[in-house]
Structure 1
Amino acid sequence: MQLWGGIDEVPADFGPSAVTIGKFDGVHLGHRSVLAQLRSLATDSGLQPVVVTFDRHPFALLRPDDCPDALVSNAQRAELLADSEVVAALVLEFNRELSELPPLAFAERILHDALDTRLVLVGSDFRYGYRGEGRIEALREHGQMFGFEVALLDDVRIGGTRVSSTQIRQHLSAGDVRSAATLLGRYPRVRSTVIPGDAIGREIGFPTANLDPAIEGFLPADGVYAAWAWIDGVRYGAAVSIGNNPTFDGIPARRTEAHLLDASVDAYGKAIELDFVEYIRPMVKFDGLDSLAAAISADVGRIRALLAAET
């Protein structure tokens, strides 16, 4: 997949294309349905399937207090889009200039001039241009002016629930990683680097890989989880805790640490990815190291059995 960081990076001879436009936060099952339809329509018409997206949520600029946390980083999103087999993704910097671009100028500069668009695939609630003034009727009018058709998408629903990034964030914020996975079509994943910790886990027989707080992806609610950990391309079962460890009167900063099951890996400085499988229990204040070790041992036994059923 070609990844362009602005219209200046699009080759002058690119196109003609079929385009879909959106934030694609999480690249969930709804997005994947859109991308599958885009590929199909593009193939039928001899067009190049392209995603147009943004480097941040528009609220980050326009309404920062209301801006939701992203489900995935830009790098993670690019990897997920590449897996969808689109030819290219155009990532537009959502700055003041773009936010004030009139709908007609958006259609002309980005869809017509840059991408030679012949088909635009969007939902019925799609809005574009300054203050979201451009809607489907305007998009169709601009299509007549610039030579592209407009096709509308239906919502994707699972069990009557519309698949949306907002719904997934709500599940993760409640610790319900299983429901989030159902809407994502994959396990919720975060990525970071392993850093040194305080060695308490090693002291009680459960050494952990401590994640740098600069984590890519959306961390679920505090608690203990069954997870898969990926290091150097190898998958390990893991017991993951998220929180500030109340047993020790609360560590000031929220931390994420993973105990690898039945494995000893020198992971310091290495990239680690965690796929969250199941919520196990909340963070609990124990009355000492022995009680904490006994609880972790019980967690590990339960997680080992749960993960065995996942394979």
Structure 2
Amino acid sequence: MQRWRSLDEMPAEWGRCVLTIGVFDGVHRGHAQLISRAVKSAAVRGVPSVLMTFDPHPLDVVRPGAHPAQLATLDRRAELAAELGIDVFVVMPFTKDFMKLTPEEYVEELLVNRLHVAEVVVGDNFTFGKQAAGTVDTMRELGRRYGFDVDGVQLLGEHAVTFSSTYIRSCLAAGDVAAAAEALGRPHRIEGVVVHGDGRGKGLGFPTANVAPTMYAAIPADGVYAGWFTDLDDPAAEPRMAAISVGTNPTFDGRNRTVEPHILDFDGDLYDHHVAVDFVEQLRGMRRFDSIEDLVEAIGRDVDQARKVLTSADV
């Protein structure tokens, strides 16, 4: 898969393409449906499939400070798009000038003159252009004028719930990482760097990796989770079972919210490593214990339960 940081990296000999557009935060099952439609249509037409996303998040420009919790980093979105068969992953810088484009300017300047789209695949709730004035119907009207097709897709859902980034964030905020995984099509992942912490876990017999998540990462509700830990700096590293603590360590009157995986059957130095933590199932909520002995006993149960959950889970 090719990855362009802007349309300025387009090859001079670029022909036509099938394009899908959106933030694609999380590349969840609804997004996967759009991507699949674009990939299949591109194969039939014999042209490249292109996914266009934006950086920074549009809300950062429209309403500074309103950036929603991020379900996947830009690199992770590119990786997932490649797995789904996209030929080109292009990042469109979202600027104040870009947000001022009218729907017609957006289509003519970007989709027609630059990308030469043969077809555009979007969700049926897609909006674009200044003040989000353009809709799928607007895109279809402009498609007829400029000679490209438009496929407006109703996003996938189950049990009367549409899979969306907003829905997934609400699941994570409630600690329901299993429901989030169902909508994502895989466990929710946060990435970050292992930093020095208080060292309490090691003293209790359960050393942890103190992960400083990437900016805006969607961190699940406080609690203890079963999940997977992967050292992204080691290309040969396999995911390892982990019992993951998220919260402020109330037994020790902690104030800073941390993400601390205890990696099962592992003893190594991970400081400064770029890592991934995948959340599979919540084991319990976060609580304050009356004694250190009670805490150690609870952590032991957490580890046993995490091992049981993950032994039967898919990586």
CA–CA distance in structure 2, aligned partners of residues 212 and 63 of structure 1: 26
Q: Please tell me whether residue 84 in structure 1 is matched to residue 84 in structure 2.
A: yes
Q: Which SS does the other structure have where 1:51 is aligned?
A: strand
CA–CA distance in structure 1, aligned partners of residues 280 and 210 of structure 2: 19
Map 1:242-281 → 2, pairs under 5 A: 242-250=246-254, 252-281=255-284
Superposition deviation, residue 167 in structure 1: 0.4
CA–CA distance in structure 1, aligned partners of residues 216 and 78 of structure 2: 13
- Counterpart AA for 1:269: D
Map 1:87-236 → 2, pairs under 5 A: 87-214=87-214, 217-231=217-231, 232=234, 233-236=237-240
Superposition deviation, residue 144 in structure 1: 2.9
Q: Which SS does the other structure have where 1:64 is aligned?
A: coil
Q: Flag the 1:27–1:305 CA change in 2: closer, same or farther, 3 A.
A: same
CA–CA distance in structure 1, aligned partners of residues 285 and 141 of structure 2: 54
Contact 1:23 1:54 in 2 (8 A): yes
CA–CA distance in structure 1, aligned partners of residues 82 and 128 of structure 2: 24
CA–CA distance in structure 2, aligned partners of residues 3 and 217 of structure 1: 23
- Counterpart AA for 1:237: M
CA–CA distance in structure 2, aligned partners of residues 228 and 213 of structure 1: 15
Superposition deviation, residue 96 in structure 1: 0.4
Q: Which SS does the other structure have where 1:279 is aligned?
A: strand
Contact 1:175 1:220 in 2 (8 A): yes
Aligned equivalent of 2:288, options 266, 285, 289: 285
Superposition deviation, residue 303 in structure 1: 1.1
1:162-221 deviation digits (Å, cap 9, x = unpaired): 111100000001000000000000010111111222211111111111112446742111
Q: Flag the 1:303–1:102 CA change in 2: closer, same or farther, 3 A.
A: same
Q: Which SS does the other structure have where 2:219 is aligned?
A: coil
Superposition deviation, residue 66 in structure 1: 4.4
Map 1:56-75 → 2, pairs under 5 A: 56-64=56-64, 66-75=66-75
Superposition deviation, residue 146 in structure 1: 2.4
Map 1:293-308 → 2, pairs under 5 A: 293-308=296-311
> Which deviates more from structure 2 when the two are superposed, residues 296-305 or residues 137-146?
137-146
Structure 1's consecutive aligned runs of 4 or more residues displaced over 4 angstroms after TM superposition are: none
Q: Which SS does the other structure have where 1:212 is aligned?
A: strand
- Counterpart AA for 2:304: G
Contact 2:67 2:216 in 1 (8 A): no
CA–CA distance in structure 1, aligned partners of residues 156 and 49 of structure 2: 20
Contact 1:190 1:215 in 2 (8 A): no
CA–CA distance in structure 2, aligned partners of residues 273 and 20 of structure 1: 27
CA–CA distance in structure 1, aligned partners of residues 60 and 97 of structure 2: 14
| Number of aligned positions between the proteins | 310
Contact 1:73 1:216 in 2 (8 A): no
- Counterpart AA for 1:47: V
TM-score when normalising by structure 1:
0.95
- Counterpart AA for 2:252: F
- Counterpart AA for 1:141: E
User: What residue is the counterpart of 1:45 in the other structure?
Assistant: 45
- Counterpart AA for 1:242: V
Q: Which SS does the other structure have where 1:36 is aligned?
A: helix
Q: Which SS does the other structure have where 2:312 is aligned?
A: helix
Q: Please tell me whether residue 30 in structure 1 is matched to residue 33 in structure 2.
A: no
Q: Percent identity?
A: 39
CA–CA distance in structure 2, aligned partners of residues 103 and 215 of structure 1: 31
- Counterpart AA for 2:251: T
Contact 2:208 2:261 in 1 (8 A): yes
CA–CA distance in structure 2, aligned partners of residues 65 and 214 of structure 1: 16
Contact 2:34 2:123 in 1 (8 A): no
